[in-house]
Structure 1
């Protein structure tokens, strides 16, 4: 009897997991979340390059793609107007790639605020989310593909 219950629970979890994993994909749009957690200009440019390349790929196929770049920990420097090595590219994204959005980790902002004595200036291109990792988890749970270039 225990095996029957265990198998039922496993089957239910797998079914629910597969249903949740396809929620975002039922509308025909592709969903990609990119993580940046390092203060490294090469990695920041790589994340932006991936966004451009994926956008172009799906545009060439005549398909839609939504991309969310989530910055947390030291990667938040990507979205800081005072320290970002890619600030000009962020502005260009807003103009030419409306399918790309940016999320700034509120926990990291709070930590930097406490350490620096004032809130770091965050680009207007970014939405503040409570926690970058929680944002990535939520995106994953709703069917987004998560990549850390």
Structure 2
């Protein structure tokens, strides 16, 4: 009888420990407007989601996907939130930025030279396709 109680206690401890480890959440944030309010709202969403899930003992992976006029968010000297992106990228290891390759190519062609992007940005072939892929991988979709 003692062995049964001990085994049950160990099983309960293991099950409780597994539940206490937390969960990982995945969030894709969509920015396609050249509007400082929208860009700041997207960054506020990222910060608030990180803070909330952190307080719950959970992890969160956040990717901001910018395309169309929203790509200005990731262009040094043009971005109204560039300093904030740099600071948040240092603070939040779980935050990444995807820049639409289609938009980047078109902007560069129009400018007659390669448009530089912030070092925090990674170019993806298509912003829309990236959002689709992230949702297919189980990411929650947020559009501020």
TM-score range, shorter chain: 0.7 to 0.9
The aligned counterpart of 2:119 is 124
User: What are structure 1's unaligned runs of at least 5 residues?
Assistant: 1-26
Aligned match of 1:57 = 52
Aligned mates of 2:90, 2:98 — CA distance in 1: 17
What is aligned with 2:6?
A: none
Alpha-carbon distance in structure 1 between the residues aligned to 2:72 and 2:88? 17
CA RMSD after TM alignment: 1.0
Instruction: Work out which of the residue numbers 91, 94, 97 in structure 1 matches 2:89.
Output: 94
Alignment of 1:1-149 (within 5 A): 28-149=23-144
Q: Give SS of 1:122's match.
A: coil
Separation in 2, partners of 1:82, 1:131: 23
Q: Which runs of 5+ in 2 are unaligned?
A: 1-21
Larger Cα-atom Rg: 2
Task: Compute the TM-score of the two structures, normalised by the length of structure 1.
Answer: 0.81
Aligned length: 123
Matches of 1:74 and 1:137, distance apart in 2 = 19
1:17 aligned residue: none
Q: Measure how far apart 1:148 and its partner are.
A: 0.6
CA contact (8 A) 1:82 1:121 kept: no
| 1:91-120 CA-partner distances (Å, limit 9, x unpaired) | 101211111100000000000011111121
